[in-house]
Amino acid sequence: MNENGVCMACLWHEKKSTIDWEFRSQQLHRIAAWARSTSRSSWHCVLGVSGGKDSLWQAHQLRDHYGLNPLLVMYVSSDVTELGRMNAENMVRCGFTVHSIQPNPRIAVKLARKSFFEHGNIAKFSELALFTAPFRTAIEHNIPLVFFGENAALENGDTNTENPGWDASGIRYSNTLAGAAHEIWLDEANGIRREDLIPYTFPHASELQEWGGRGVFMGYFLNWSGWNNAVFSIGHGMTPHSLDYEDLGMHYKHHSLDSNNGAAVNFLMKYIKFGFGEATEHASYDVRANRITRKEAIALVKRLDGKCNPKLIKDFCSWIDITEESFWEIANSYRGTMWRQDTRGEWHLKKPIWYGMNDIDTIETQSVIERIDTIHRGQSLTPQESQTRRRHAIL
């Protein structure tokens, strides 16, 4: 928050309305021209992907608008869902080459367990591999350019960064990677050796300097909208969740499709630690984009934030071999100070955002969800509408 109580993400959204996006798109065209003339590979650039809404939209942008031949590099988690595999195949069907990297699943389970117990974040270890794989692939194949999506330091308010808004090479300094220190995962007593961490070891600064390439956040150059990306990608074959909204803890089914553990269960952990979850985050995007009112957003948050299908929790516990009792013991050890526990042992936010709003339950949240639904819009796109949406997303 700044001194006026406004978060960094809202400040960035306001700034976006003053940016000359056509000029930035031309800047990206120049970067693309540099990559085409510099690459010593059959591919001009690497794009880090998961197979979700942003990945497919980005791949189409780079190929169809910026004239690049992208190699899509995908970190595959050992708990990948069948839905995640389907959407990875969909990228191939759309005419892209996908290079998949799946680290040793036995080590991944140990890292997931360590990540949960020591950090209260199921996905913390995998985020290292997610960002490491594209850079490592680019260095190995002499590809001069690596693309990622939005810059979390701008879109989500992560202020722990030492790099310019476009420069993804410095992502090691973000809160997400926390300096890319893989040493914290070494645990030889439990069979996690240094050589097991190669897929999680971000290139050293000297390696990046010798490579001489660039890492770029596309969201700096394009007027980024995850909602628009979802509509586009669903229209191009991406399959969304079939779970209920309460199972996911949010009002969209297009988000985080490749891992239930890294998604719904980890979103629950975010809610426990910080007092807000994915419903809050996505409702905030919706309010900024004028898709819903603030009161409607609060109603969605009250209904969905922190919800998670018990089966997903049970599956996570089975994956890392702990009891559900142990899960809740660890989870509650990370619970933030915004919570209070009643005499029955149940937890409640001390002052939820809907506190004092007596009419909040009169809002028909299902109607709100249907009004902003991305699935119906994406599935009903005509080819001409798809092209128009692609162009408008750039500008």
DSSP string for 42-86: S-SEEEEE-SSHHHHHHHHIIIIIS---EEEEEE--TT--HHHHH
- The pLDDT tens digits of the residues spanning 35-48 come to 999 999 999 999 99
Quote the pLDDT of residue 5. Answer: 84
Q: Quote the mean pLDDT of the chain.
A: 90
Q: How confident is the model at residue 157 (pLDDT cuts 50, 70, 90)?
A: low
Confidence of residue 158 (pLDDT cuts 50, 70, 90): low
In this prediction, residue 179 has a pLDDT band, given cuts at 50, 70 and 90, of very low
Among 213, 222, 66, 61, which residue's Cα sits nearest to residue 150? Answer: 222
Q: Span 175-200, mean pLDDT?
A: 80
**DSSP H stretches of helix in 193-347:** 205-211, 218-221, 226-235, 245-248, 266-274, 278-288, 294-304, 310-320, 324-333
Say yes or no to pLDDT of 156 above 70: no
Backbone phi, psi, residue 13, to 5°: -60, -40
At residue 78, the pLDDT reads 84
Check residue 187 and report its DSSP letter: B
CATH number corresponding to 8-225+380-394: 3.40.50
Q: Could you report the per-residue pLDDT of 290-308, keeping only the tens digit for each? A: 999 999 999 999 999 999 9
Residue position matching structure tokens 């700034």: 15
Question: Residue 357 gets which letter from DSSP?
Answer: -
Give 217's strand partners: 148
Could you report how far apart the first and last alpha carbons of the chain are, in Å? 29
At 117, the amino acid letter reads F
Tell me how far apart the alpha carbons of residues 204 and 197 are, in angstroms, rounded to a whole number.
14
Which has the minimum average pLDDT: 30-34, 171-175, 309-313? 171-175
Tell how far CA 98 is from the center of its chain.
19
Structure token pair of residue 281: 């985050």
Cβ contact 54:62 at 8 Å: no
Do 124 and 77 touch, CB atoms closer than 8 A? no
What residue ranges do the domains of the chain occupy? 8-225+380-394, 243-378
Tell me the C-alpha distance between 360 and 375, whole Å: 26
Which 8-state DSSP code applies to residue 192? B
Confidence of residue 172 (pLDDT cuts 50, 70, 90): low
Q: Report how far residue 69's alpha carbon sits from residue 145's, in angstroms, rounded to the nearest whole number.
A: 11
Number of Cβ atoms within 10 Å of the Cβ of 357: 14
348 DSSP β-pair partners = 340
98 contacts 84 by C-beta, under 8 angstroms:
no
Q: Rounded to 10 degrees, what is the CA torsion of 135, 140, 142, 148?
A: -20
Helices 226-235 + 53-60 axis angle, to 10: 80
pLDDT digits (tens, 9 = 90+) for 53-80: 999 999 999 999 999 999 999 999 888 8
Please state the rounded mean pLDDT for residues 266-273.
Answer: 96
Higher pLDDT, 120 or 180: 120
- Amino acid at site 384: Q
Query: Is the pLDDT at 368 greater than 70, yes or no?
Result: yes
Query: Which neighbouring-strand residues pair with 46?
Result: 71, 146
User: Does 29 score more than 80 pLDDT?
Assistant: yes
Strands (E) in the chain, as ranges, are 45-49, 70-75, 97-101, 145-148, 214-217, 339-341, 347-349
